[in-house]
Amino acid sequence: MPADLAGTANAVPAVVRVGVERAADRSSSGIGFEDVTVAYNGLVVLDSLTLAVNPGEIVALIGPSGSGKTTALRAVAGFVRPVRGRITIGPRDVTNVAPHARNIGMVVQNYALFPHMRAEENVAFGLRARGAAADVIRQRVPECLRLVGMASYAKRYPRELSGGQQQRVAIARALAIRPQVLLLDEPLSALDAQIRRSMLDELAKLHRELPSLTVLYVTHDQTEALTLADHIGIMRDGKLVAFGDAQSLYRYPPNRFSAEFLGRANLLPVQALVATGGGMARVRFRDGAFVARNHHALPDGGECLLCVRPHDLCLAPPDAASNALTATVKSVQWQGDMQSVELDVDGHLLRVSCAPMHAPPSPGAPLTVHFSATQATLVPETMVRG
């Protein structure tokens, strides 16, 4: 049986089936976590999660395996019950509501299509399980298949579809019941890189066509999160350690873990923070000094980390006020349209992403790199408390 919500309703009595003909209140389709804790046999796997997903936005939860991101999604779906806290969809408290009564759609990483059903039958399954009228099914199924670009594949069985096509059918099935909320659990992880990129474009297009649909997207892939999400939550050890809009979280990570997990980050320990005005600060590293953004308003005189992304390190000064740093080359790797250079700076690894060099430096050679003060930011070691 499929793991998505369409598959949970086939045993639901008709008297409690969701009326799919009734239009969902899209203005109240947000998701709320209020101090939600989930434990298995006394082991806490989701710890006091408080988070708001606004109606109509895509929020991605990312983090390593075991960080609690999938548990958070399953709690919204109703597959796990919190030991503390409450979960809301719109104004409704759904903490103790059965999964089939939450009006949500869910897509998982292994597609979970019925192999003996054609694509159109898979899409219709959730509607039939919820007692939808025949004319609603006849209208809704081709409409959803067109939405995901699979109208011409309606008569095919899953075995006759590629992985990406099967995932599109799974998304169409989730959308057919017109959910208030769409839950995506690692939906692209089983696809190869080229198909994954194509599916990212399709998901972005889908949300443009359904702007009122609220999406909670769980992934371990930072590129997926940065490409699709309006806001990103970073999970670690069952806790939410960072949350913000995608660009701000990437540019100004609030702690070491966030900087390292969301995009590659070069982090150097620096000292003697001195504010210079305009949201900038001067810090000391070795015998030199750098100027960087102090977005988090860290206090003077402390220690912190200087964060600069690999593509923001240049071999020539980007501006007159740029910072300069001399290091030793560890390795140079050609990657087609990019060259990755690894440097050693007093035992700290520094990565540079640049255009291919005609005469790349040899391992052991000194190399000076530059970075603009506005492209570097100061990061505390631990969580910034608002």
Q: What is the CATH number of the domain that holds 157?
A: 3.40.50.300
pLDDT-derived band at 23, boundaries 50, 70, 90: very low
- Residue 385 placed within a domain: no
What pLDDT sits at residue 22? 36
3-state SS, residue 84: strand
Distance (Å, whole) CA 274 – CA 195: 48
- Which of 251, 268, 297 is the last residue before a domain boundary? 251
Q: Which domain holds residue 333?
A: 256-379
- Residue 207 placed within a domain: yes
Distance (Å, whole) CA 279 – CA 322: 16
What pLDDT sits at residue 359? 86
Q: Where are the alpha helices (DSSP H) in the chain?
A: 69-77, 119-129, 134-147, 163-176, 193-209, 222-228, 246-251, 256-261
Give the pLDDT confidence of 115-132 residue by residue, as tens digits. 999 999 999 999 998 899
What pLDDT sits at residue 15? 28
Considering the domain architecture, whether residues 223 and 321 belong to the same structural domain is answered as no
Considering the domain architecture, whether residues 115 and 32 belong to the same structural domain is answered as yes
Considering the domain architecture, whether residues 97 and 168 belong to the same structural domain is answered as yes
Percent of the chain with pLDDT over 90: 66
Distance (Å, whole) CA 384 – CA 296: 8
Considering the domain architecture, whether residues 222 and 277 belong to the same structural domain is answered as no
- Residue 384 placed within a domain: no
Residues 367-380: what's their mean pLDDT?
94
Sequential DSSP letters for 255-278: SHHHHHHSS--EEEEEEEEEEEET
Note the pTM of the prediction, 2 decimals.
0.84
Considering the domain architecture, whether residues 174 and 304 belong to the same structural domain is answered as no
Given a cut of 90, whether residue 233 has pLDDT beyond it is: yes
Considering the domain architecture, whether residues 328 and 355 belong to the same structural domain is answered as yes
Considering the domain architecture, whether residues 272 and 149 belong to the same structural domain is answered as no
* CB 164 within 8 Å of CB 200: no
What pLDDT sits at residue 11? 33
Residue type, 103: N
- Residue 151 placed within a domain: yes
Residues 229-257: what's their mean pLDDT?
95
Distance (Å, whole) CA 355 – CA 353: 7
- Calculate the average pLDDT of the chain: 88
- Residue 313 placed within a domain: yes
What pLDDT sits at residue 382? 74
- Number of domains composing the chain: 2
pLDDT-derived band at 28, boundaries 50, 70, 90: low
Given a cut of 50, whether residue 21 has pLDDT beyond it is: no
The dihedral region occupied by 117, where left means phi > 0, alpha psi between -120 and 50, and beta the remainder, is: beta
- Residue 35 placed within a domain: yes
Size of the chain, expressed as the number of residues it contains: 386
Considering the domain architecture, whether residues 299 and 243 belong to the same structural domain is answered as no
Considering the domain architecture, whether residues 235 and 89 belong to the same structural domain is answered as yes
- Which of 229, 251, 273 is the last residue before a domain boundary? 251
* Residue 352's CATH number: 2.40.50.100
Considering the domain architecture, whether residues 268 and 231 belong to the same structural domain is answered as no
Distance (Å, whole) CA 304 – CA 306: 7
- Residue 386 placed within a domain: no
Considering the domain architecture, whether residues 55 and 85 belong to the same structural domain is answered as yes
pLDDT-derived band at 171, boundaries 50, 70, 90: very high
Quick one: CA torsion of 350, 356, 357, 361, rounded to 10 degrees? 40
- Which of 224, 251, 278 is the last residue before a domain boundary? 251
Considering the domain architecture, whether residues 226 and 365 belong to the same structural domain is answered as no
CA 309-303-377 angle, 5° bins: 25
